[in-house]
Structure 1
């Protein structure tokens, strides 16, 4: 299985690293599907909103909801998140992708939902997957991957080398080279 995870150091580091990798791979002509999480903060809102950019070219989807200033509940909008997941699964089924990049294997995935459907669809179509990974959900990721995962160092060059390697193997197998 060609499934890799990365964990950046510090708040937003994984998101910035995946965005930089996606930009470089796109410049190389590699066809990407998946999601990235833009790291721009909401200016002055006092809220921690979360958006997902669906690759390759949008839309940008808000996956948090406003519960009001007094709420302490989880702001995740499960419906919006699952809609984003469904759109990515549909794109993986319909498009020729060289690589799927997902911003995060998080709580939803650890509990058996969320991007697991995207990962399964991509790997079932022999499309490699790169995902962000938090230390909190690393054990769940490893159980999910059953020892077939690669944990990459949080270094752009190492991540790019892995991505280019698995994509090059795909094009050679398809006869595109």
Structure 2
């Protein structure tokens, strides 16, 4: 049996959005194999003149799509994250975990999570129940994530085959 450290895996994201297709595809593949995946993945990426933070998240396994960016106007420079929308997504994820899940995939451990908010409770519940957790962390939040994880996180390579194996060796089919 592996140590508890192996239950929390993360990919270091070096470019904005670079891990989103990988995590979405992995969640879809696991679901197609009959596994229950809880979490959130990006379902609509910013396009054209959209602000880089304008995006929607799909709640897994069968929750809604939630827009998590506030419409602040073109001259706005502040953070566009709508904390209430993120908390709504987190509540959906908690319900999914409480009904049973084989894996938790979260598109990003961000600033809200570094402050103990956002999806932190879902991460904790999944780990408490032995459900493997996979997320992405950018360089800006890497130190905060490692501090939050308290030595329990394993950095993983952004490779679909390897990540699938990492999750499924711990997930009953």
Distance in 2, Cα, partners of 1:101 & 1:63? 17
Alignment-derived partner of residue 126 in structure 1? 130
Alignment-derived partner of residue 175 in structure 1? none
1:74 paired with 2:79, answer yes
Per-residue CA distance 1:108-163 (angstroms, 9 max, x = gap): 11111111111011112221111111122122222222222111101111111100
Q: 2:93 aligns with which of 88, 91, 95?
A: 88
Judged with a 3 Å threshold, the aligned counterparts in structure 2 of structure 1 residues 156 and 135 are, in CA distance, closer, same or farther, namely same
Please provide the CA RMSD for this pair: 1.7
Distance in 1, Cα, partners of 2:44 & 2:155? 23
Structure 2 residues not aligned, in runs of 5+: none
Distance in 2, Cα, partners of 1:54 & 1:119? 14
SS at match of 1:91: helix
Question: Which of the pair has more CA radius of gyration?
Answer: 1
Query: Structure 2 length normalisation: TM-score?
Result: 0.88
Would you say how many aligned residue pairs link Structure 1 and Structure 2?
167
Distance in 1, Cα, partners of 2:149 & 2:77? 34
Alignment-derived partner of residue 145 in structure 1? 149
Query: Structure 1 length normalisation: TM-score?
Result: 0.86
Shift of 1:8: 4.1
Structure 1 residues not aligned, in runs of 5+: 172-177
